[in-house]
Amino acid sequence: MNTMKRSFWITLSALAATALAYSSNMKSNNTTAAAPADGAACKVDGEKSACGLPSHVVIDMSKTKVQHTDAEWKALLTPIQYRVARQQGTERPFDNEYWNNHEDGVYFSVCSDTPLFDSRDKFESGTGWPSFTKPIEPAFVGETRDSTYGMERVEVHSNVDGAHLGHVFDDGPRSKGGLRYCINSASLRFMPRKQYEAWVAKNGQAGSMAAK
């Protein structure tokens, strides 16, 4: 492993350790509920599907690495990005940027330079939202029990910047662990593979992960 890549992964590991500590603290205060196993949790019915319903869980933003005031977030994000990522809203199925994106690359949090999901773990779920079998680094993605709307779901968010991402269900491909991360496009920023590789090289050399 060359010096640049070693520096990058040392930095990534440090960020992961910070996120993992945050995640452990969150889980000690929130009991993660098991999602329905029959797939009914995400039956598509316009904006009324379980994946598409907004969340009202409380995320402790005080422990996030990347922080901005509400006014700053509004200036940094588009209206739909702000509504989904900062206000735990949702977007319409089959009417969002990445649900049908088949390009090779990596999906970052829209609120920071944090890689969250790889296109190689993306699959067609038929729900109309981007779906992944796993995050790039589990420590970057936190889970919180969501019992709103009379159902039990598991909300997922970025541990680094507190952005609401979507929900995770256990009706994903069994051959790849059985999980389905149902994620809002508005919470993501896509980076093509070659650009991502250049980003890795740059951030490895710099020894830091830049934030918005």
- The catalytic position among 42, 51, 111, 182 is 182
Answer yes or no: are the C-beta atoms of 43 and 50 closer than 8 Å.
yes
Residues 111 and 81: their CA atoms lie apart, in Å, by 9
Question: Which amino acid, 52?
Answer: G
182 is catalytic: yes
Residues 127 and 125: their CA atoms lie apart, in Å, by 5
- Helices 3-29 and 193-206, packing angle to 10 deg: 90
Answer yes or no: are the C-beta atoms of 161 and 112 closer than 8 Å.
yes
Please, what's the b/e burial string for 91-117 (b: 16 or more CB within 10 A of its CB; e: otherwise)? bebeebebbeeeeebbbbbbbbbbbbb
Give me the DSSP letters along 187-203.
GEEEEEHHHHHHHHHHH
Residues 181 and 166: their CA atoms lie apart, in Å, by 7
Element (H, E) at 18: helix 3-29
Active site residues: 182
